[in-house]
């Protein structure tokens, strides 16, 4: 019997969510991109407005459905919809953001109930353009927030990098998290 799993990718605009899903997906990614009409245009020309969807086919025959959330707060109504029945959250942050720790706080706060029920891993992209200490600062903030400091530099364009990030998320899932006493 084929098992089907679901993972959600979230984070600010330009952090690499769509690219990460494209790197991992074994099918053509379904994207809901629209031209940017606000200050996001300084980062990119289009942005996700509903979701990205990809599918990883595992050697066992199991499947992992990959959902990317929109990065902008005005589309946050999709966040709850996309996290329903998911195993965990891959939070993508831009290492070259003016304040990646503030971005971390924003998204952990928004997804906190979901994270507390599942698992979280943080992937930091654009690390070549950010400070070398970004991962350490993010990890320290995760600990301060009562979360495991699972944060790593990653290249969203690399299937190997993204597979490592997903493995870290899966290894962090507590099998007894929702067990009844």
178 pLDDT more than 60: no
Name the pairing type of β-strands 30-35 and 4-10: unpaired
pLDDT in tens, 129-153: 766 789 999 999 999 999 999 999 9
Mind listing the pLDDT tens digit for each residue in 75-93? 666 678 788 889 999 999 9
Q: Sign of torsion, CA 128 173 59 6?
A: negative
d(CA 47, CA 161): 23
> Long-range CB contacts (< 8 A, 24+ apart) of 135-138?
137/100, 137/101, 138/93, 138/100, 138/101, 138/104
> According to the model, what pLDDT value does residue 46 have?
56
Q: Give residue 36's pLDDT.
A: 59
Q: Looking at the DSSP assignment, which residues form a beta bridge with residue 57?
A: 63
**How far is residue 4 from each of residues 61, 63, 133, 167, 176, measured CA to CA in Å?**
9, 5, 37, 16, 20
């Amino acid at each position: 019997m084929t098992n089907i799993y679901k993972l959600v990718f979230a984070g600010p605009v330009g952090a690499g969510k769509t690219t990460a899903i494209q790197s991992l997906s074994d099918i053509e990614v379904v994207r809901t991109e629209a031209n940017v009409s606000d200050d996001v245009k300084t980062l990119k020309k289009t942005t996700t407005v509903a979701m990205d969807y990809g599918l990883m086919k595992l050697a066992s025959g199991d499947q992992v459905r990959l959902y990317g959330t929109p990065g902008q707060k005005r589309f946050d109504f999709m966040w709850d919809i996309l996290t329903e029945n998911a195993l965990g959250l891959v939070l993508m942050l831009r290492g070259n953001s003016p304040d990646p720790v503030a971005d971390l706080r924003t998204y952990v706060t928004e997804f906190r109930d979901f994270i507390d029920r599942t698992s979280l891993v943080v992937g930091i992209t654009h690390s070549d353009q950010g400070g070398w200490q970004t991962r350490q600062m993010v990890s320290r903030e995760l600990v301060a927030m009562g979360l495991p400091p699972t944060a790593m530099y990653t290249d969203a364009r690399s299937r190997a990098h993204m597979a490592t990030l997903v493995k870290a998320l899966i290894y962090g899932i507590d099998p007894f998290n929702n067990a009844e006493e």
